Chains A and B, each alone.
Chain A
């Protein structure tokens, strides 16, 4: 699921990347989004578009719509009021597309695929800046799978998908400094082959990649990571993402899988 950037812009500041003084160049953003759409289409992705809504500029980041497993959609409970208005639109749209909408308790913040990514049969979930750890327990209750909760400690990497990207062979790309010591240990324990991203490349949102089997669509600016991925037999598709990085997002933030997995337990 993608959302065209018709109303995209930096209209508020809810993460360290956002600055209203440094707005996104609208035509450039449009082009970058279209390139992403084209790249995914070329890779045989079936893309569905949700209608953008005025005054909800971040709706373009559909990864935060929720988490979809099989035909079940768990909508986000956004932490920031600025984005809370997106939730009913996404939920309604998913319902119209035949998904069962399963809301979490209202007082548990949860920001969808932004903070919940499957690596193998394990659901890795980030907490503190956006999602609450309590929401992880609730998601684990709903899905009946192993949930590894990791604390994020660097506000620039406020969602899990900004610093962690599982790969289909059981490995993952990650930026360890974004996790606390326990989170790092937990990830190391559960992911056999970890590719560390250099700090410079992490700042280019290199972890924010869309993985389609052996194809990886990621923001440009991470030659070391691309080399590491190519060495493991992945095909990398680098895209300029400058205008979305200004809002604290990139390739993965602009995409929600429908579903991320057919079933939570493999």
Chain B
């Protein structure tokens, strides 16, 4: 939506010009927000209203404003954004505007342009010649780039609450604590994922090692097999745990199947070694060494895998991006078309991903730690649900719901 502020003045209440203008905005498919209104107190006093008018495109807005001018509306003069040059590569001007993850517009030479992509904790670089504005991270900034400073000429459009009463995200929009029932929510989530899949949405899973450690790996595999995972984000540890379990039946030395004494880290190290030796997951599968597990399922079902490393990584195993800046860029790229994200028991990775999401992406965060859930959920207001629970029962039940529906078909 693009918008413009108009002013109406005169006996706009008695003449019904104000309701007429508001009705006309709605009839044209636009929306309005009354920014200011001053109503005359005495009979002869004139009234004045300042109204922000929004329409789906610049053309439809221009059309609408033209019609409103006939009823006396005048376009309010708005200031352009203020710019300053980046003083050095990777450095923003002192008073740079810090973006949110909401849709943002800047006014340049009297025209509003949308900042792309929507990216929080960035600056806005403006290309005056091309009339474009983009969100930039520190590492993207080049000396001399025109960066937006201050708050003038900037308009942020917060995500609106939809009018749907059935959207589970808006209906709950909070965290469900450990001692609250979850089955109904999980059923609704399953329905949401089915809707996403049938309407061309893309589902990403951000997988923490706890999935494997709690024995939920096979439930995640089921989601993958049912076609509910388009992209999997993970770190070195998730892959190592998953492969260790596939090869040795343990994760971090603990058996998922049998109550026996842990065997220490040796299996994990051996798994890393095999992956390095075979060139990674695909190599290990080709050689017939890796025959099960989440990574195996991903490869078989052509799920896009995005792996980024951290400082604790062993190996690292081939295919893991170890340069963190490079890793951020890859993740951002790979999140661009995602509509739904399941953040599953990994605080660091979940927060990193949540910070990169556009305002309309729906997220579900599952973690045993309520603080972790709260932190991830607060990043996506009106678009996220948190569940404080062990990830294993969550994935088991979600898999059951999705499988039941698939069987029914």
A180 to B71, CA, bound (A): 12
A140 near B14 with CB under 8 A, answer no
Per the bound structure, the CA–CA distance linking A136 and B17 in Å amounts to 12
**Residues of chain A whose beta carbon lies under 8 Å from any beta carbon of chain B:** 121, 128, 132-134, 136-137, 140-141, 144-151, 180, 182-183, 185-186, 189-190, 265
Indicate which residue in B9, B43, B70 contacts A146 across the interface (CB closer than 8 Å).
B43
Q: Which residues of B contact A150 (CB under 8 A)?
A: 15
Point out the residue from A128, A134, A186 that lies within 8 Å of B16, measured CB to CB.
Answer: A186
CA distance A133 to B46 in the complex (A): 14
Chain A residues with CB under 8 Å of B20's CB are 151, 180, 182
- The answer to whether the Cβ of B404 comes within 8 Å of any Cβ in the partner chain is no
Contact yes or no, B44 A133, CB < 8 A = no
Q: How far is the CB of B360 from chain A (nearest CB, A)?
A: 37
A selection of 25 A-B contacts at a CB cut-off of 8 Å is A121-B43, A132-B72, A133-B10, A133-B17, A133-B70, A133-B72, A136-B11, A137-B9, A137-B10, A140-B10, A140-B44, A144-B44, A146-B14, A146-B43, A147-B11, A147-B15, A148-B11, A149-B10, A149-B15, A180-B20, A182-B16, A183-B16, A185-B16, A186-B14, A189-B14
Interface centre among A128, A145, A151 (most CB of B within 10 A): A151
**Residue contact A149 to B44, C-beta cutoff 8 Å:** no
Contact status of A148 and B44, CB under 8 A, knowing A136-B10, A137-B9, A137-B72: no
CA separation between A136 and B14, bound complex, in Å?
Answer: 13
Assembled-state Cα–Cα distance A128/B14 (Å): 18
Closest to A184 in B: B16
B19 on the interface (CB 8 Å rule)? Answer: yes
Bound-state Cα–Cα, A134 to B74, Å: 10
Closest 5 interchain pairs by CB? Answer: A133-B72, A137-B10, A182-B16, A149-B15, A182-B20
A125 to chain B, nearest CB (A): 9
What A residues does B11 contact at CB under 8 A? Answer: 136, 140, 146-149
Q: How far is the CA of A249 from the CA of B44 in the complex (A)?
A: 31
Residue of B nearest to A180 (CB): B20
CA–CA, A144 and B11, complex, Å: 11
A137-B72, A146-B44, A149-B72 given as contacts; is B19 within 8 A of A182 (CB)?
yes
Please report the C-alpha to C-alpha distance between residue A144 and residue B395 in the assembled complex, in whole angstroms: 72
B residues in contact with A128, CB < 8 Å = 70
Name B residues whose Cβ lies closer than 8 Å to a Cβ of A: 9-11, 14-17, 19-20, 43-44, 46, 70-72
Please report the C-alpha to C-alpha distance between residue A237 and residue B17 in the assembled complex, in whole angstroms.
Answer: 37
Chain B residue contacts of A136, Cβ below 8 A: 10-11, 72
CB distance from B55 to the nearest CB of A (A): 21
Q: Chain B's nearest CB lies how many Å from the CB of A69? A: 13
Residues in A whose Cβ lies below 8 Å from that of B46? 137, 140-141
Q: Once the chains are docked, how many angstroms separate the CA of A265 from the CA of B43?
A: 10
Besides A137-B46, A146-B43, A148-B11, 8 new A-B residue pairs in contact (Cβ under 8 A), listed by A number = A128-B70, A133-B71, A134-B72, A137-B72, A140-B11, A145-B44, A147-B11, A149-B10
Inter-chain contacts of A132 with B (CB < 8 A): 72
Count chain B CB atoms within 10 A of each CB in A148, A182, A189 and give the residue with the most: A182
In Å, the complex CA distance between A130 and B17 comes to 18
Question: Could you say which residues of chain B place their CB within 8 Å of the CB of A183?
Answer: 16
Contacts of B9 in A (CB 8 A): 137
How far in angstroms is the closest Cβ of chain A from B6? Answer: 13
| Chain A residue, CB-CB nearest to B13 | A186
Residue numbers in A under 8 Å from B15 (CB-CB): 147-150, 182, 186
Most A CB atoms within 10 A — which of B16, B19, B46?
B16
Taking the closest CB of chain B, its distance from the CB of A212, in whole angstroms, is 27
- Evaluate contact between B16 and A147: CB separation under 8 angstroms: no
State in angstroms the CA–CA spacing of A136 and B15 once bound together.
Answer: 11
In angstroms, Cα B17 to Cα A182, docked, is 8
Distance (whole angstroms) from the CB of A14 to the closest CB of chain B? 19
| CA–CA, A144 and B14, complex, Å | 15
Q: Are A265 and B72 in contact (CB under 8 A)?
A: no
**Inside 8 A of A182's CB, which chain B residues have their CB?**
15-17, 19-20
